[in-house]
Amino acid sequence: ATTRISFEKPALISNSGRTNLSFNLRRSIPTRRLSVSCAAKQETVDKVSEIVKKQLSLANDQKVTAATKFAELGADSLDTVEIVMGLEEEFNIQMAEEKAQKITTVEQAAELIEELMQEKK
């Protein structure tokens, strides 16, 4: 999955004493599908997924992954607050309100939890 960028020799265009540089960028984009990996540990993601399922009363077979958005699961702002409270209790942490309000996915929650747990050490 490499991206190659090549620069051609710049063309200098002089027009009444002004100089403009022009570059032609050519990118080679791979045809394979890119996969995004979560920075949080899988163990944390799994725990967050379970808490989200519990807070939203989802079925055990409901698939919740790192990329799952709370809104996709039918969560409103009150549900999100309850999810955050459940996560704080489970992981024994306190999330700043402005950071907690930005959480929209399981991955974001897991990454914030790990960040807060590192700060506690």
CB-CB contact of 56 with 73 (8 Å): yes
CB-CB contact of 40 with 107 (8 Å): yes
CB-CB contact of 50 with 30 (8 Å): no
Residues known to be catalytic: 76
Helices 77-91, 106-120: axis angle to 10 degrees equals: 40
The Cβ of residue 89 has, within 10 Å, a number of other Cβ atoms equal to 10
